[in-house]
Amino acid sequence: MAFSRNTWKLTLSYDGGDFHGWQVQPGLRTVQGLLSEAIRKVTGEEILPQGSGRTDAGVHALGQVATFDLEAGIPQQNLLRALNRALPASVRVMQAEVTPPGFHARHSACGKTYEYRIFVRRDAGTRHERICSPLLSRYVWDCRWPLDITPMQQAATTVIGEMDFSSFAANDPDASVRQGATPPTMVRTISSSEWRREGDILIYRVNGNGFLHHMVRNLVGTFVEMGCGRMSASQMPEILAARNRSISGPTAPARGLFLVEVQY
């Protein structure tokens, strides 16, 4: 019995500490590679699922999205259960659904939300040091400096809007391959950007229509410089205007970053 091809959309959650990022790389364990192998085991079809974007080694996902076409006719819940049986426990398919033809995880996306989490080892003005549990340490930046959240939040509001984020973009070796001959734009629109504290964790949450390579981690590294007094929040407009990566802060560790949601 013949079946027409269906476009499937998967919503994935994974522990990035177990992988060399999303994208397939020869000889390395990646989320895309394992998902492709799981689809082959379940359906017999050779498929390379397309993600909403690449997450780097160590970066986690609560709501990564992947799409692919299948010829096999398989009920939604059956595919969901079968893929989760074929995948390691550090990757879960949270939802599987058939979408209209032409839907694409990356090209159809209109926004993304990321969170970055910092363990507050020390409060300003105190000598007491908290110990970060090993059950938490792979999901946070265990930051050794006491941080003042006020300048961090002041700087975070500065990046809301449409602007050139060259000062927060790492060199992306694959950009020319994806963009072709067209030079990639460094302009992105950030709709929300804020810090909050929950217990011993500082959480940065940002939503935008797209993010450059390492952009969120570079923003966080700069905010932390401001939080510990090595830079001033008032420098943020100057940093943005310079369009020069060398004058912004360091790159925050990958383990504190989560892709929370992709909007369509």
The catalytically annotated residue of 56, 123, 148, 164 is 56
- Please state, in angstroms and as integers, the Cα–Cα distance from residue 241 to each residue in 204, 216, 236, 251, following that order: 23, 18, 9, 19
What lies within 8 Å, CB to CB, of 209 at 6+ separation is 110, 111, 188, 189, 191
Nearest to residue 5, comparing CAs of 56, 47, 52? 47
Alpha carbon 71 to its chain centroid, in Å, reads 30
Q: Is 164 tagged catalytic?
A: no
Tell me the helices (H) and strands (E) count for the chain, helix number first: 6, 10
Residue 192, sorted as left (phi over 0), alpha (psi -120 to 50) or beta, turns out to be beta
Instruction: Say which DSSP state 184 is in.
Output: P
Show which residues are catalytic. Answer: 56
